Amino acid sequence: MTQPIRRRVLVAILGFGSLATAAILLAPLAGSTSISLRKAFDTSIPFSDNVDAQIFFVARMPRTLAGALVGAALAAAGVVFQGLLRNPLATPFTLGVSAGAALGAMLAITFGWAVEWGGVSAVPIASFAGSLGAVAIVYALARARQRGLSTNVLLLAGVTLNAFFSALILFVQYLADFAETYRMLRWLIGDLDIASYRPLLGSLPLVIVAFLVFAWIARPLNLLSFGPVEAETRGVDVTRVQRAAFFSASLATGAAVSIAGPIGFVGIIVPHLVRLIVGSDHRVVLPASVLFGAGFLVTCDVVSRTAMAPVEIPVGVITALIGGPFFLWLLVKKA
Amino acid sequence: MRILRLAVVVALAWAFAAVSPGAVQPQGHPQRIISLIPAVTEMLFAIGAGPQVVGVGSYDNFPAEVQKLPRVGALLDPDIERIISLKPDLVVVYATQSDLQKQLERATIPTFRYEHAGLADVTVTIRHLGNRIGRSPEATRVTQQIERALDDIRQRTANRRHPRTLLVFGREALALRGIYASGGVGFLQDMLVVAGGDNVFADVKRQSVQATAELVLARQPEVILELRGTSLTDEMRRKEISVWQSLAAVPAVKSERIAFIADQRTVVPGPRVAEGTELLARALHPEAFK
């Protein structure tokens, strides 16, 4: 029993890992400008004078890594939310995390908060704080009625909070002036041009913690898919696993959204694509989704940067445009 | 008999309404004007029609007189009830406010359509506005002043080298994210040309370009001008300028030619546009104004 699963995990990691590695290595080579790699890696030119090196290391690398981190986090969080809620339509944004994050970001933009903390500016900080607030509210509501964690209440509270926060966001936008409204809209579409490694360093530990929890809950999530009662009889501490799943997936989502805004489609399309290929065992689906999510978003960002250069197409538009039809094609082919 | 007479009156009124032209032609010149657009409000006051302005948009704040006037919404949220209740005989609307235009048409209130365009359109609009409200001589005087001022700036900067300039009009606070810069069309581009700058995005035929880190590095601006509608403290200015340090290979960063111009005149294409242009020119060519 253990041998085949280990092999399947290994095959998935090797397969999706090589895709992700290829995407991450090739992505910085493409962009709106053509650069000379030889010059970019030429250490005899001081870095501050080397335009090609700066385009490679300051503009493209952080962006590629951000795409990988955000794609991996959203895809894996999608898998966990779908498993936790036992609902294939769940996304990382279903339970209000992204709406809380968006409200935080909108407030930071409207009031022009100009603070900085460890090289991370106000908007990502406010966005992460907002997602924490939303998580706390949803959790408190889901706990209020019974001792365990009711996934039904979780879902209802999350969806309602989403709607409520959306209303607040509209209100904040209404108060903002016109240029700010435009910047808010742009934030809501999602953007990976971070031009610095600092936001990544801030989010990376959070995502790593979330991924460690994912590794621990992969097996219990499998049992949970038979229903909480069934899982309980097989020795799963259901409440504990649900709580771990909820907080870890929310943490990964909050960290990802604080970097790039709520980039849509990754959290639902990648998990389903991966399941169509490797089956539904979370021990395989989770690592495969992490790797495929990374490669997918990095690739989408390359398209967003180059398709209409020098003008950019928002990466959220690309994820939907590529993801949607591809998903449908795979669905039909599999059927 | 009385009913018959009433019926005849109603029928006549109906017939008259039916044959009269759709838009009511104002008798004489407008006496109660509402402007929803800051640039046009400024124009109205500049040509001496300030006393006739009875309502302004939410974002209007110049000249000081507008602070006392009723606010009637703005581009996205015009308050039609308030507009009608002020009994205007001319409403200045933005070209995209088609719903508002239709509603005003139904209420038989004449409108003046306006749309931001190039620098040359500022004086054209002022002339049209002057004709419409019966202040042509004043409009001509104002446009001549603007054109003279612009010519003066042009002459001062003409024979100097025009540095490659990145003209930023929006950016996230304390981060190089969400940078919006002027593209190769629109009044910002035109102002920059008069002020003696060579826009690094002149080839992008759009009013705005989202300038990613890569684009800024690739376009190699020698000067970075950041426009702000609101003022900022010296400390913030210093901090915001230092944010650019991460793009050290940009000539403007290396030579520290990054300037913040926190002044409404640079972002409103109204009658003070020449003053705004001069601010740009002074930032680009300080020696030309000694």
- Encode pLDDT of B53-110 as tens digits: 999 998 888 899 989 999 998 887 889 899 999 999 999 998 888 889 899 989 999 9
* Mean pLDDT across chain B: 87
Give dist(CA A80, CA A101) in Å, integer.
19
Find which of B203, B212, B239 to mutate to test the A interface (most A CBs within 10 Å of its CB): B212
End-to-end CA distance of chain B: 86
Which residue in B27, B59, B61 sits closest to B45, CA to CA?
B61
Q: What is the pLDDT of residue A1?
A: 47
Mean pLDDT in residue range A180-189: 84
Cα of A325 to nearest chain B Cα, Å: 28
Min Cα–Cα distance to chain A from B272, Å: 20
pLDDT-wise least confident of A2-11, A241-250, B184-193: A2-11
pLDDT confidence tier of residue B27, bands split at 50, 70 and 90: low
Among B74, B212, B230, select the one facing A312 at the smallest CB separation: B212
Per-residue model confidence as pLDDT tens digits over B262-275: 888 988 899 999 99
Q: Where are the alpha helices (DSSP H) in chain A?
A: 2-26, 37-40, 51-54, 61-85, 97-110, 122-144, 151-175, 178-189, 198-224, 228-233, 238-260, 266-278, 282-306, 315-334
Contact B223, B192 (CB under 8 A): no
- Measured at the CA of B115, the angle between CA B110 and CA B120, to 5 degrees, comes to 120
* ipTM tops the 0.95 cut: no
Whole-angstrom distance, CA of residue B202 vs CA of residue B192: 10
B164-170 and B180-182 strand pairing: antiparallel
* Res B7: pLDDT: 56
Q: Which domains does chain B have, with CATH numbers?
A: 2-153 (3.40.50.1980), 159-289 (3.40.50.1980)
Task: Give the model's confidence band at A71: pLDDT under 50 very low, under 70 low, under 90 confident, else very high.
Answer: very high
**Over chain A, what is the mean pLDDT?**
88
CA distances from A198 to A120, A178, A201, B274 (A): 6, 30, 5, 41
Number of A to B CB contacts under 8 A, please give it: 108
Q: What residues in B contact A46, CB-CB < 8 Å? A: none
CB-nearest to A193 from B76, B213, B230 is B213
B175 and A193 within 8 Å at the Cβ level: the answer is: no
Contact A137, A165 (CB under 8 A): no
Q: Is B75 on the interface with A (CB under 8 A)?
A: yes
For the stretch B107-117, pLDDT in tens is: 999 999 888 88
**pLDDT score of A335:** 60
Cα separation of B74 and A1, whole Å?
A: 67
Other C-beta atoms closer than 10 Å to the C-beta of A277 total 16
